[in-house]
Amino acid sequence: MNDLYKLNSDVSCCWSCKGPVIKHALFCPTCDVIQPPSDIDHFVRLGICRCYVLDLSELDRQYFHFQRLLHPDKFVCHTSKEQILSQAQVTVLNEAYETLKNPLKRAYYLLRLSGCVDIDLITKTTNSDLLMEIMEIHELLNDADTVDEIKVIEDQINAKMILCETSLEKAFVKENLDIAVELTTRLKYFKKLFEESSSRKIYITGINI
């Protein structure tokens, strides 16, 4: 918990013993009672630095560490208020983890933190080059008759997604939000294509049985 203390020096008051508690501490240092979730961003909640490309094993490690501390099973012999707080803490922890482990959700989240508001609207593209690129892959998928053919297309989509993710990191580091929006849009469309390819594989497997 000492690391968490270093991240934010704001002090609030423990709901149970009224002693001082660092704003986003999980437990009161005086009475050790669980505290309500504070209004902090997902990166701070999971104790990782705010960047686009994450060390996913570190993300997992942090998530499971906090989950072990906060899990409702640990509070079955505690007061009902502590049980409710544990559930509330786990809910926001899960939301943070689900958002940060997903490359597209993470990009959306970072855009939101950077002040972009209506992200669904800004990531709807009218870029004819991108639409053409998507349409071409879409047609390749529709024409593919075997799972192996689809796997080749999936590799291409995957390579494009990885390129988007690498470029997104640079765009966020340089705080170049226009480029970040453009790349998030590309990522969104390629992710959709990847989902399409999975459906196509199921369809082909089905008709070949």
**Which residues form the interface with Zn ion (CB under 5 A)?**
14, 16-17, 19, 28, 30-31
Report whether 103 contacts 187 (CB < 8 A). yes
- Which of residues 31 and 51 has its CB atom nearest to Zn ion in the complex? 31
> Closest distance between Zn ion and the C-beta of residue 14, in Å?
3
**Continuous H helices in the chain:** 2-7, 42-45, 56-70, 80-101, 103-113, 119-122, 128-143, 147-173, 177-208
> Closest distance between Zn ion and the C-beta of residue 27, in Å?
8
Please give the Cα distance from 143 to 138 (Å, whole number): 9
Please give the Cα distance from 91 to 65 (Å, whole number): 15
Please give the Cα distance from 25 to 10 (Å, whole number): 10
- Which of residues 28 and 48 has its CB atom nearest to Zn ion in the complex? 28
Residues 6+ apart with CB under 8 A from 5: 22, 25
Phi then psi dihedrals of residue 139, to 5 deg: -65, -40
> Closest distance between Zn ion and the C-beta of residue 75, in Å?
15
> Closest distance between Zn ion and the C-beta of residue 29, in Å?
8
> Closest distance between Zn ion and the C-beta of residue 15, in Å?
8
How many residues are there in the chain? 209
- Which of residues 19 and 176 has its CB atom nearest to Zn ion in the complex? 19
Phi then psi dihedrals of residue 176, to 5 deg: -95, 85
- Which of residues 52 and 75 has its CB atom nearest to Zn ion in the complex? 75
- Which of residues 16 and 83 has its CB atom nearest to Zn ion in the complex? 16
Phi then psi dihedrals of residue 11, to 5 deg: -115, 135
> Closest distance between Zn ion and the C-beta of residue 202, in Å?
53
- Which of residues 26 and 180 has its CB atom nearest to Zn ion in the complex? 26
